[in-house]
Amino acid sequence: MSDQNVRNAGFTSSGIARGSLASSMMSQEAKSSGGGVHSGGPTSTLQEMGARGSTHSTGFTSSGISGGSQAASMMSQEARSHGGGTPRGGTTSTVQSI
């Protein structure tokens, strides 16, 4: 995943851009978790990368999610919250597509 793609999705050094993919992801995550975005969750993790300007070694690659990576942890967290699977159009699949 490139740094530019993260910024283009709306995760920036000044916060999540209004009307962006990032803001949609944040909204979706907040709704699914009862109204908040958890520290260490997908949205906050991507925002941290956007604020830092670095996505290196996250585990989202052009050939899939790397085992044991931060991306794999995000996918696992999402799967647990959805009863064992990552939904099409969910956070992990959206981030992987970025």
Per domain, the residue ranges of the chain are 1-97
Average pLDDT estimate for 46-60: 78
Q: What is the pLDDT of residue 56?
A: 65
Beta bridge partners of 65: 60
Average pLDDT estimate for 7-12: 90
For 28-37, how does the pLDDT look when each residue is reduced to its tens digit (9 = 90+)?
Answer: 889 988 888 8
CA dist 4 and 28 (Å) reads 23
Q: What is the pLDDT of residue 45?
A: 79
- Confidence band for 14, pLDDT divided at 50, 70 and 90: very high
For 56-96, how does the pLDDT look when each residue is reduced to its tens digit (9 = 90+)?
Answer: 677 888 788 889 988 898 889 888 888 888 877 777 777 77
Q: How far is CA 27 from CA 33, 38, 53, 59, 68, in A?
A: 10, 12, 22, 24, 27
